[in-house]
Amino acid sequence: MHQKTYKLIVAYDGSAYAGWQVQQGKPSIAETMNHTFKRVFKKDIKVLGASRTDAGVHALGQVVRVKTDLAISPEKLRWAWNNSLPEDIMIRSLEQEKDDFNPFCNVQQKVYYYHFFLERPSPFLQRYGYYHVYPTDINMLAKALQTFVGTHDFCSFRSSEDTRIDTIRTIDAIHLEHFKRYNVYRITVKGQKFLRHMIRRIVGVSLAIASRPGASLHMLPDVMKKCDPGHTLPNAPAKGLLLYKIMYTKGLKKNDQ
């Protein structure tokens, strides 16, 4: 029977998971979705996600591909699957796609949010943002973040486990805003692709610059030039990071990424 291809938009609270990717002996978003599908529909699948979010990272707009020969409408498929998933994973939308759809290809831009608090947050918010306890110069923070906009070698701002040779990346924009209602700050980062831990390290370094006595913006170019991911500047906690959405370029060939 011919397999149909579906595109899903998935939201999840990553607190209880070791990340998106299936990992031996550890709970993951992908494995949970695979096992739940098997339990409900008695068929094996392998979900393919556009972004391999790390342990503790959240998502509102993860893009996922699923292939199955299940004879069921997209509406019923989403309803039955959603009602069997744990409360911290939700399929926001599910629609049939062309057979050659690949969530890795033709990505135009990914948008991430990083949330942090400068005062102790409500217990109902704390798992979705980093409480930075040190006095912080917000103007300095905004300036620090802007130094990363554009095309740079982000070798120093990746995980030491990320062994990719090509570490050149382009950040299209970074915005900093404050939401008075929740007393939370949001850093929005936009770009086509990122290295592992790249956004968290950018946030961690920028917060350090803006809160440490004697720290200077001049430190950032020096850290970048050294191409040393082993530097001692902090990596912001995973729970503040949220994959907000992924946008695709239409009309490109699949090998044009």
Could you tell me if 244 and 114 are in contact, meaning their C-beta atoms sit under 8 angstroms apart? Answer: no
Residues 85 and 135 in one domain: no
**What local confidence, expressed as pLDDT, does residue 251 receive?**
47
Q: Residue 59: beta bridge partners?
A: 12, 243
Instruction: Return the beta strands (E) in the chain as ranges.
Output: 4-12, 48-49, 58-68, 89-97, 107-117, 130-131, 150-153, 168-179, 184-191, 241-248
Residues 139 and 208 in one domain: yes
Residues 174 and 212 in one domain: yes
Inside any domain, residue 256: no
Q: State the CATH number of the domain containing residue 228.
A: 3.30.70.660
Report CA 234 to chain centroid distance, whole Å: 18
Per-residue pLDDT tens digits for 96-138: 999 999 999 999 999 999 999 999 999 999 999 999 999 999 9
Per-residue pLDDT tens digits for 173-203: 999 999 999 999 999 999 999 999 999 999 9
**What local confidence, expressed as pLDDT, does residue 94 receive?**
98
Residues 120 and 84 in one domain: no
Inside any domain, residue 147: yes
Residues 58 and 116 in one domain: no
Domain count along the chain = 2
Inside any domain, residue 111: yes
Last residue of a domain, which of 71, 97, 123? 97
Per-residue pLDDT tens digits for 31-89: 999 999 999 999 999 999 999 999 999 999 999 999 999 999 999 999 999 999 999 99
Strands 58-68 vs 241-248: parallel, antiparallel or unpaired: parallel
Last residue of a domain, which of 97, 131, 157? 97
Which residue is listed with tokens 């790249």? 198
Q: State the CATH number of the domain containing residue 8.
A: 3.30.70.580
User: What is the distance between the alpha carbons of residues 149 and 172, in angstroms, rounded to a whole number?
Assistant: 6
Burial 137-160 (b: 16+ CB within 10 A, else e): eeebbbbbbbbbeeebebbbbbee
Backbone angles phi, psi at 245, to 5 degrees: -165, 160
Inside any domain, residue 92: yes
**What local confidence, expressed as pLDDT, does residue 231 receive?**
74
| pTM score of the predicted model | 0.93
Residues 48 and 140 in one domain: no
Per-residue pLDDT tens digits for 199-239: 999 999 999 999 998 888 988 888 888 887 777 778 999 99
Q: Look up the domain containing 48 and give its range.
A: 4-97
User: What are the residues whose beta carbons fall under 8 Å from the beta carbon of 209, sequence distance 6 or more?
Assistant: 140, 141, 144, 215, 216, 217, 219, 220
Last residue of a domain, which of 97, 117, 144? 97
Catalytic center residues: 54
Residues 45 and 156 in one domain: no
Please write down the HEC assignment for all residues of 139-191: HHHHHHHHCCCEEEECHHHCCCCCCCCCCEEEEEEEEEEEECCCCEEEEEEEE
Q: What is the CA radius of gyration of the chain?
A: 20
Q: What does pLDDT average to over the chain?
A: 93
Backbone angles phi, psi at 74, to 5 degrees: -55, -35
**What local confidence, expressed as pLDDT, does residue 229 receive?**
74
